[in-house]
Every structure is written in structure tokens, then in C-alpha cells.
Amino acid sequence: MPELTRRHALGAAATLAAVAASQSLSAPTATAAGHDHTRPEAFDEVYRGRRITGRPTSGSGHHHGAGYAVFIDGVELHVMRNADGSWISVVSHYDPVATPRAAARAAVVELQGAPLVPFGAN
């Protein structure tokens, strides 16, 4: 059996990495497969004592909002749609969720009763 050299080990590692990368690109991931890329429906509900609403907007709205506006007690919650179809808000930025409604609910939980302060997006 030939001696294993650093060059052979690096070559094998590179080959394995390339194969793994090509398989992950061709197979759908659970995160990407779990999100719907269509425009979400409007909602209006009271969640934990706070009025949360969401609706499609005409045009593109905020540059990241994908034509959708979310409000907590009448104050706009800045939301953003990620490339995989998940949603985040300015309040729960590091916790992506499947829908704007879920983003509003997560923000209500995070606010713990505090009022939402308007976000001056540039």
C-alpha cells in the first residue's frame, strides 16, 4: 500500500468536500423546504394582549419587507424576508420564523409588554 503523503491527504479532503458541497446544493434542505415563497395572507389578531396585524402592501414597501407590512398595536414592526423564505424582524433579528405572523408573535414575546418604538429604516 502506498505511503499516505500530505498531498494525497489534502487531495482526498478536497475531493470529499467537493462531493459534500455538490450533494448539499442539489438536495433540498429542511429549512428551505419548510418555507413558502408566496406572499403571505393578511392577519389581524390579539396575541398576548397585543393587537398584531399584517397585510400585503402595494409596491415593494421597505427595501427588505417584500411588499408586506406588520404592526404591533398600530406601530410598524420592521420585517425582512430572507433568501430561504423565512422572516425576521428588527426585534427578533436572529430568530428566523416561517411567516410574518410568527415574526409578530415572536416580537410580542420578546417585548415582554414594552411598547414597540418606531424603527426609522434608512
Spell out the domains of the chain, with CATH numbers in brackets: 43-111 (3.30.1880.10)
Considering only the C-alpha atoms of the chain, give the largest distance between any 2 of them, rounded to a whole number of Å.
73
- Tens of pLDDT, residue by residue over 6-16, are 666 666 656 65
User: pTM for this one?
Assistant: 0.65
User: 12-33: per-residue pLDDT in tens?
Assistant: 656 655 555 555 444 444 444 4
pLDDT value, residue 32: 46
**Which pLDDT value is given to residue 119?**
76
* Residues 103-112, mean pLDDT to the nearest whole number: 97
Q: How far is CA 32 from CA 25, 94, 99, in A?
A: 11, 17, 13
Tell me the pLDDT band of 5, cut-offs 50, 70 and 90: confident
